[in-house]
């Protein structure tokens, strides 16, 4: 469900015409629909209302301050993975006891900041990290809550780069390691080990891997309880998939219906960490066609957005629907030619879509759909390209939430050798 729809032959975001926004703010341009984000957040909240989980939006999916502020305003907490994301969480005044912090490589400085700030808990990924948090907490004379990230070795059936719960990945710890930590928890005198964290991967379209994981979690908890270990929290991570192409992902309600029986039987305070589900279909990337290039082998539609703006196609061969902002008659001759939609970056991997039938000419605009998650937040300045502007639409109103970068932004912080 999203609010990017064609009305009278033109693409709209809610009640704002996308082409007018592209002309007003320039391209490449990220456009987000506030209503879509609100509805996705609400759907998840309502689906799980019986257990009233803490929903910590995963900042990495789209980390613009205005988006974070909106979600925190809706009652979300934040799932962070770096000192930079902690800084953002502080900027939007996220309640400290709604911040959870994962990542396999938290540095001393990041740990100190987060402990001093008083976040709800760390999701710990290794024994070395556990020792480090304990040592930092001791120095600061604090007692810190942590959950242990469990790697259940479950196949989530998604792209290997976003698979995080298989034993070959760098994330979390196996069952035996976890049990040994819990049984010897006394050695970590500055830690309270209060829960278990899992996050098995992203863009999961059905509930089977979650159920398999929860069954493993249940067994683990049973083993722990038998030895007198009691827990307070179960964090089930994020991972809910969305529609990019022909996927038919579970809805929030279907997901809840499938996993609530397990969660009820575990009866711990539940934390969710959705990212893509909230913002994925709430954002598009709009670009302008610079050239149409025909070669003996292929047609290329060269646009002013590139892999530096949206890395997912280049990085994961991810599919995004791409549309012209004007719905035209399907019989137009240009429409029949399959073209690669590419950017100006000097890499053959720089494409937004391949073999697409798009009826556009030079100077027209296109929109890459489903670009709200891991879109802008993964963007870079590669090829010295200033990063795109971001705007937020609410009904007929659009506000700039990130200025387009300038050339001077590109060299900010660089020194000219004397
Ligand atoms: C620990 C953790 N939680 C939550 C998420 C969010 O995942 P998604 O956007 O698939 O919901 C991620 C994504 O990588 C993650 O690593």
CATH of the domain at 126: 3.20.20.10
Which of 21-30, 115-124, 179-188, 301-310 shows the lowest per-residue confidence on average (mean pLDDT)?
Answer: 179-188
Q: Is 197 in the pocket of ligand 1 (CB under 6 A)?
A: no
Task: Give 192-237 pLDDT, tens digit per residue.
Answer: 999 999 999 999 998 999 999 999 999 999 999 999 999 999 999 9
| Probe target for ligand 1 pocket from 40, 41, 58, with the most ligand atoms within 8 Å of CB | 58
Q: Is 202 in the pocket of ligand 1 (CB under 6 A)?
A: yes
**What gap in Å lies between CA 109 and CA 140, rounded to an integer?**
12
Instruction: Look at residue 142 and tell me if it is in a domain.
Output: yes
Strands (E), 215-298: 233-235, 269-272, 283-294
Q: Which of 109, 44, 101, 9 is nearest to 278 (CA)?
A: 44
- The pLDDT assigned to 155 comes to 84
Q: Is 238 in the pocket of ligand 1 (CB under 6 A)?
A: yes
The 3-state DSSP class for residue 104 equals coil
| Whether residues 159 and 267 fall in one domain | yes
Question: Span 264-284, mean pLDDT?
Answer: 97
Instruction: Look at residue 159 and tell me if it is in a domain.
Output: yes
Residue 331, pLDDT above cutoff 60? no
What are the catalytic residues? Answer: 346
Task: Give 23-79 pLDDT, tens digit per residue.
Answer: 999 999 999 999 999 999 999 999 999 999 999 999 999 999 999 999 999 999 999
Instruction: Look at residue 418 and tell me if it is in a domain.
Output: no
Cβ–Cβ under 8 Å, residues 345 and 309: no
- The pLDDT assigned to 334 comes to 55
Whole-prediction pTM: 0.96
- The pLDDT assigned to 332 comes to 53
| Whether residues 217 and 81 fall in one domain | yes
Q: Is 210 in the pocket of ligand 1 (CB under 6 A)?
A: no
| Residue located nearest, by CA, to atom 16 of ligand 1 | 199
Residues 6+ apart with CB under 8 A from 203: 158, 159, 162, 239, 241, 242, 276
Helices and strands of the chain, counted as H and E runs: 12, 20
Query: Domain with 362 in it: what CATH number?
Result: 2.40.37.10
Cα-to-centroid distance, 398 and ligand 1 (Å) = 28
Residues 6+ apart with CB under 8 A from 157: 204, 205, 206, 209
Instruction: Look at residue 417 and tell me if it is in a domain.
Output: no
- The pLDDT assigned to 338 comes to 95
- The percentage of the chain sitting over the pLDDT mark of 90, rounded to a whole number, equals 92
Residue-wise burial string across 3-32, b where 16 or more C-beta atoms lie within 10 A, e elsewhere: bbeeeeeebbbbebbbbebbeebebbbbbb
| Whether residues 123 and 167 fall in one domain | yes
| Whether residues 137 and 210 fall in one domain | yes
Q: How confident is the model at residue 333 (pLDDT cuts 50, 70, 90)?
A: low
Task: Give 3-18 pLDDT, tens digit per residue.
Answer: 999 999 999 999 999 9
- Which atom of ligand 1 is found nearest the CA of 162? 14
Cα-to-centroid distance, 85 and ligand 1 (Å) = 14
**What gap in Å lies between CA 210 and CA 360, rounded to an integer?**
42
From first CA to last CA, the distance across the chain in angstroms is 56
Instruction: Look at residue 416 and tell me if it is in a domain.
Output: no
Residue at which a domain ends, from 278, 310, 330: 278
Q: Alpha-carbon dihedral of residues 124, 129, 131, 135, nearest 10 degrees?
A: -100
Residues 6+ apart with CB under 8 A from 365: 18, 19, 22, 27, 286, 287, 288, 289, 324, 325
| Whether residues 113 and 237 fall in one domain | yes
Cα-to-centroid distance, 153 and ligand 1 (Å) = 17
**What gap in Å lies between CA 209 and CA 309, rounded to an integer?**
32
Instruction: Look at residue 415 and tell me if it is in a domain.
Output: no
Say how many domains are in the chain: 2
Residue at which a domain ends, from 209, 243, 278: 278
**What gap in Å lies between CA 179 and CA 157, rounded to an integer?**
27
- The pLDDT assigned to 156 comes to 79
Question: Span 99-106, mean pLDDT?
Answer: 97
Task: Give 342-361 pLDDT, tens digit per residue.
Answer: 999 999 999 999 999 999 99
Residue at which a domain ends, from 278, 294, 319: 278
| Whether residues 240 and 327 fall in one domain | no
User: Around Cβ 331, how many Cβ atoms within 10 Å?
Assistant: 8
Q: Is 239 in the pocket of ligand 1 (CB under 6 A)?
A: yes
Q: Which of 280, 272, 276, 281 is nearest to 202 (CA)?
A: 276
| Whether residues 234 and 91 fall in one domain | yes
Q: Is 61 in the pocket of ligand 1 (CB under 6 A)?
A: yes
- The pLDDT assigned to 226 comes to 94
| Whether residues 118 and 184 fall in one domain | yes
Q: How confident is the model at residue 119 (pLDDT cuts 50, 70, 90)?
A: very high
- Which atom of ligand 1 is found nearest the CA of 280? 9
- The pLDDT assigned to 283 comes to 98
Q: Is 240 in the pocket of ligand 1 (CB under 6 A)?
A: yes
| Whether residues 105 and 201 fall in one domain | yes
DSSP for 304-359 reads S--TTT--HHHHH-----EEESB---TT-GGGGS-EEEE-SSSSTT-EEEEEE---
Q: Is 156 in the pocket of ligand 1 (CB under 6 A)?
A: no
Please give the residue range of the domain that contains residue 260. 34-278
| Probe target for ligand 1 pocket from 54, 57, 60, with the most ligand atoms within 8 Å of CB | 60
| Residue located nearest, by CA, to atom 5 of ligand 1 | 238
| Whether residues 333 and 286 fall in one domain | yes
Question: Span 159-167, mean pLDDT?
Answer: 83
Question: Span 298-302, mean pLDDT?
Answer: 97
Cα-to-centroid distance, 372 and ligand 1 (Å) = 14
Cα-to-centroid distance, 206 and ligand 1 (Å) = 16
Q: How confident is the model at residue 329 (pLDDT cuts 50, 70, 90)?
A: low
- Which atom of ligand 1 is found nearest the CA of 201? 10
| Whether residues 274 and 285 fall in one domain | no
- The pLDDT assigned to 158 comes to 81
The answer to whether the bond into 170 is cis (omega within 30° of 0) is no
**What gap in Å lies between CA 141 and CA 271, rounded to an integer?**
27
Cα-to-centroid distance, 13 and ligand 1 (Å) = 26
Residue 330, pLDDT above cutoff 60? no
| Whether residues 272 and 317 fall in one domain | no
Cα-to-centroid distance, 45 and ligand 1 (Å) = 17
- Tell me the backbone φ, ψ of residue 263, rounded to 5 degrees: -65, -40
Cβ–Cβ under 8 Å, residues 118 and 96: yes
Pull the structure tokens for residue 6: 């064609």
Residue 92, pLDDT above cutoff 60? yes
């Amino acid at each position: 469900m999203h609010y990017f729809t064609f009305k009278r032959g033109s693409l709209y975001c809610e009640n704002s015409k996308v082409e007018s926004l592209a002309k007003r703010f320039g391209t490449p341009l990220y456009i987000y629909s506030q209503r879509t984000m609100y509805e996705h957040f609400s759907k998840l909240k309502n689906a799980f209302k019986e257990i009233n989980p803490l929903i910590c939006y995963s900042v990495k999916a789209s980390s613009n301050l205005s988006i974070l502020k909106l979600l925190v305003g809706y009652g979300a907490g934040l799932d962070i993975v770096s000192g930079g994301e902690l800084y953002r969480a502080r900027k939007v005044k996220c309640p400290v006891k709604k911040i959870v912090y994962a990542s396999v490589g938290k540095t001393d400085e990041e740990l100190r900041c987060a402990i001093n700030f008083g976040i709800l808990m760390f999701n710990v990924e290794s024994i070395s990290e556990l020792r480090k948090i304990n040592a930092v907490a001791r120095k600061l004379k604090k007692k810190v809550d942590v959950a242990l990230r469990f790697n259940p070795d479950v196949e989530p059936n998604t792209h290997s780069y976003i698979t995080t719960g298989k034993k070959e990945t760098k994330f979390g710890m196996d069952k035996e390691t976890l049990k040994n930590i819990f049984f010897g928890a006394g050695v970590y005198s500055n830690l309270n080990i209060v829960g278990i964290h899992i996050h098995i991967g992203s863009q999961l379209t059905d509930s089977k891997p979650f159920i398999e994981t929860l069954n493993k979690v249940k067994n683990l908890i049973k083993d722990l309880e038998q030895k007198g270990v009691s827990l307070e929290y179960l964090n089930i991570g994020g991972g809910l998939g969305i529609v990019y192409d022909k996927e038919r992902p579970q809805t929030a309600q279907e997901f809840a219906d499938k996993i609530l029986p397990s969660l009820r039987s575990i009866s711990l305070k539940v934390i969710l960490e959705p990212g893509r589900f909230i913002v994925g279909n709430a954002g598009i990337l709009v670009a302008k066609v610079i050239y149409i290039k025909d070669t003996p082998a292929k047609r290329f539609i060269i646009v002013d957005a590139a892999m530096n703006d949206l890395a997912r196609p280049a990085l994961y061969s991810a599919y995004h629907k791409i549309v012209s902002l004007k719905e035209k008659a399907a019989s137009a001759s240009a429409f029949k030619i399959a073209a690669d939609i590419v950017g100006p970056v000097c890499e053959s991997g720089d494409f937004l879509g391949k073999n697409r039938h798009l009826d556009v000419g030079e100077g027209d605009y296109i929109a890459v759909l489903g670009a709200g998650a891991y879109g802008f937040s993964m963007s870079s300045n590669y090829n010295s390209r200033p990063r795109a502007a971001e705007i937020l639409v609410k009904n007929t109103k659009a506000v700039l939430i990130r200025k387009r970068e300038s050339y001077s932004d590109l060299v900010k912080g660089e020194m000219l050798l004397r």
